[in-house]
Every structure is written in C-alpha cells, then in structure tokens.
Amino acid sequence: MRRALLVVAAVSAATPAIAAPVATPTAPWQASSEGGVCRVQRSFDVGGKPHLLILEQNAPAPAVGIALAGPSLAGLNADAPLRVSFARSHAGFDKKARIEPNAQYGQAAILQEVWLDQSKPDAAAGRGRIDTATAQGVERITVTQGNGGVTFATGPLTEAASALNDCTAQIMRSWGFDPAQQYGLQRAAAPVDTDRLMKQMRLAYTRPALRSLQQGTIDLVVFTDAAGKATDCRMLVATGYAELDKAMCATAMKERFKPALGADGQATPSYWRLRTNLRVAFSG
C-alpha cells in the first residue's frame, strides 16, 4: 500500500495560480484504515476521464499526505515543485512532490506532510489532529506546474478531516493514550537534545546503509513516561531493512526526553514522532 505521509511544511509564495482544468466529484468521500493507514478518498472526473484524490495519515498529526491521480497530471516534472493552493483567494505555495506513473489513472503526484493553513503550530497546539475549522475553509485543491495541472473541486474538507481525526484517535488509543488528554497537552514530549539525537541517528543510519546502499525515509514513534524515559519505539513505516529499523529505534531509545506536560501542568506519559529523510553522503 502506498504510504503518502509526510515531511516539511511548504513555504507560502505570492505567485498567482495558473488556470487548470476542474475535476468535479463523482462520489462521496470513502474512509478506510487498512494496514494501519488512515485514508479518505474521493473519485473525480475531468471531461469523462477519472481522477482520484486521497488524504492519508499513519499517525495522529495536524498535517496530511495528499495523493492526486489522473491524466490531467501528465507531464509533471518530479525535479520541480508544484504550486498548491486551497482557495481562489489563496496565493498558494511551492511543494516538491513524488511523481510516478499509475496503471489506472495515468499519473500520480504525492505530497508529503501538508499543513492546510501552512502555519506550523507550536509543540502542543493542534497536537494530534487536523484543525477542522481550517478544513472548513478549503474550497479546492489545485496543483499546477508550468502550463499543466488540475483543480479538484473538493469544497470544504470538514468531513474528510473529521474522518481522519477519528481514525488517528483510534491509533492513539491503540498506543495506550487518551486522545482528549494528548490533545490538551501544554507541552509535547521532545528530545532533550534534538541535534545530538539526529547526529546519532545519522551515524547509526550510515553504517548499515553503506553496506547495502540503503537510503530513504525514517518514520517512527517513541513512547515516553512521565520522567522522560523512552519506554518503546515503533517504526510507523518499515524501511524494508530489519537491521536499519532496529538501529533507528535503538538509537532513539537511548535518548532522554523532556516529558509531556498535561493540561494541569504535570508531567505525563506521551509520545514523540520523527519523520525525516536520511541520505548517505559520499565524498571524494
């Protein structure tokens, strides 16, 4: 199953959106949670040609992964960013996407970790869920590049966002946490020294990666207790290399964390999620 979750919030820009063909919905939103991935998808049509829009999450978060597919996306260049906007009044932002062929729809574009309002909240605000008020303000999802692109006439995304929030709340419960408590945190759990942890993870990553030329996305969650000790680690998306997954979690488990603070200001068990791209750097 395609994993479409994702990494860095895009930067706003003031370039006006290019006119694009409009894809109109042909079916209601459909929700699923197969394989631990929360997904809502909807079918669209442009001139009799089917298109598909998918929103995904594999963990509680205010950001979503967006996958768009259809022949209107043909010709997009994976080396250049897409211009993305959510409303006619929204100037849009540039965002790199993974572009790949799709047997059923012709072409697909996958955007990772998209914040609907393009403003990252602080460590606690909006934790673990999509802001439904922001989702209500969405009119459409438009992606363009040069003279190509398409507009998905979604209307407000409140229904889709609520379905994803319900699904990821269930994921949180499966981890042993109360969603209401986690949503109300004054402070999220975080490494005491993030720079040191990332350095150690790069070192742990490089050793097994160099042996088999592995590189890609690391997506994991670390559970913490009220004292800031890591109690468990899980790969949200397996890399496909058991040794690499084990090395990443082992490194994260050695780190000390600042414990999460509940609504009452008291330290409480919680979790910390990391999704990052690690690459092997060759020299010489």
Question: Which residue intervals of the chain bear CATH 2.60.40?
Answer: 11-178
What class has domain 11-178? mainly beta
pLDDT at 18 over 60: no
Q: How far apart are CA 220 and CA 122, in angstroms?
A: 20
Q: What is the pLDDT of residue 280?
A: 62
pTM of the predicted protein model: 0.85
Q: What is the pLDDT of residue 95?
A: 93
Q: Would you tell me the crossing angle of helices 194-212 and 242-253 to the nearest 10 degrees?
A: 160
Q: How far apart are CA 203 and CA 251, in angstroms?
A: 10
Contacts by 37-44 with C-beta closer than 8 Å and gap 24+? 37/1, 37/3, 38/163, 38/164, 38/167, 38/168, 38/171, 40/160, 40/163, 40/164, 42/154, 42/160, 44/70, 44/152, 44/153
Mean model confidence pLDDT for the chain = 86
Q: How far apart are CA 19 and CA 72, in angstroms?
A: 13
CA 126 to chain centre: 15
State the pairing for strand pair 148-152/22-25: parallel
| pLDDT tens for each residue of 199-218 | 998 888 877 766 665 667 88
What class has domain 190-278? alpha beta
Q: What is the pLDDT of residue 19?
A: 65
Nearest to 7 by CA among 275, 280, 279, 278: 275
Question: 3-class SS at 212?
Answer: helix
Q: What is the pLDDT of residue 173?
A: 96
| Structure-token pair, residue 232 | 């468990």
Q: How far apart are CA 270 and CA 226, in angstroms?
A: 8
Q: How far apart are CA 64 and CA 84, in angstroms?
A: 14
| pLDDT tens for each residue of 76-117 | 998 999 999 998 887 889 999 999 999 999 999 999 989 887
Specify the DSSP element, H or E, that contains 272. strand 270-278
Q: How far apart are CA 284 and CA 278, in angstroms?
A: 20
Q: Which residue has the higher pLDDT, 51 or 238?
A: 51
State the pairing for strand pair 190-191/257-258: antiparallel
Q: What is the pLDDT of residue 13?
A: 36
Question: Which residue intervals of the chain bear CATH 3.30.2420?
Answer: 190-278
